[in-house]
Structure 1
Amino acid sequence: MASFWAKCLLDFFVAFGVVLGGTMLAGICSVITLEPPVHKMLNIAEQIKIWAMVAAIGGTIDPIRAIETHFQDGQISPAIQQMMYIVCAFVGAHMGTTLIQWICRGGNTG
């Protein structure tokens, strides 16, 4: 069970880091090219979210295939674990995007 939670945390932080790192590097690129970084960073954060999830769960369709196989074989627990990995990756990517939005708006959410 400890490895399950370790994998959940790993997926969360990988997705979070992909969004945060990719967006920050896009902001640096905007500064170098003399463009305003705020709009570029907000756009990149939204666009990179799905790719952050894909990177966190393994970068292929295998986790989805594993869910299908386990359900067909009547093994519910491994399928639920795979779904939880995807949820953890989504939460990490979403929190990374939310943090970027918060940073770009100076803490004002409204």
Structure 2
Amino acid sequence: MNVFLSKTAVDFFIAFGVVIGGALLAGVGSVLVLQAPGTVMLETAAKLKIWAIVAAVGGTIDPMRVIESNMLEGHLSPVVQQVSIIITAFLGAHMGTELIKMICGEVL
């Protein structure tokens, strides 16, 4: 169980970091090309959200295969673990997006 919790925590922070890092660097780039950084950061955070989840879970179709094969065989524990990893990655990406909204001054 300890390995599962550590993987879940790492996936959360990977998704969070992808959104935060991408949006902040997009803001820096927008300043260099004389665009409004807040708008660019908000758009980038929204676009990166799904890709942050994909990056956190491994970027392949393997988690879906684990879910499919174990569900068909009746093994629900690996299915629950994979689904919770995906949900945790989503929460990390969503929290990163909400933090960017706070930084840019958008009301939550």
Superposition TM-score tier, normalisation by shorter sequence = over 0.9
Over residues 35-88 of structure 1, what are the superposed CA-to-partner deviations in whole Å (9 max), with x where a residue is unaligned? 110001000000000000000000011101110111011100001000000000
In the other structure, the counterpart of 1:16 is: 16
How far the C-alpha of 1:109 sits from its partner, in A, is 1.8
Gaps of 5+ in 1: none
Mapped pair 1:97 → 2:82:
no
Mapped pair 1:42 → 2:42:
yes
Mapped pair 1:25 → 2:19:
no
Over residues 10-34 of structure 1, what are the superposed CA-to-partner deviations in whole Å (9 max), with x where a residue is unaligned? 1100000000000001000000111
How far the C-alpha of 1:7 sits from its partner, in A, is 0.6
Over residues 77-103 of structure 1, what are the superposed CA-to-partner deviations in whole Å (9 max), with x where a residue is unaligned? 001000000000000000000000010
Moved over 2 A (4+): none
Gaps of 5+ in 2: none
Paired residue type of 2:35: E
Question: Root-mean-square deviation (CA), in Å?
Answer: 0.9
**Paired-residue identity, %:** 53
In the other structure, the counterpart of 2:73 is: 73
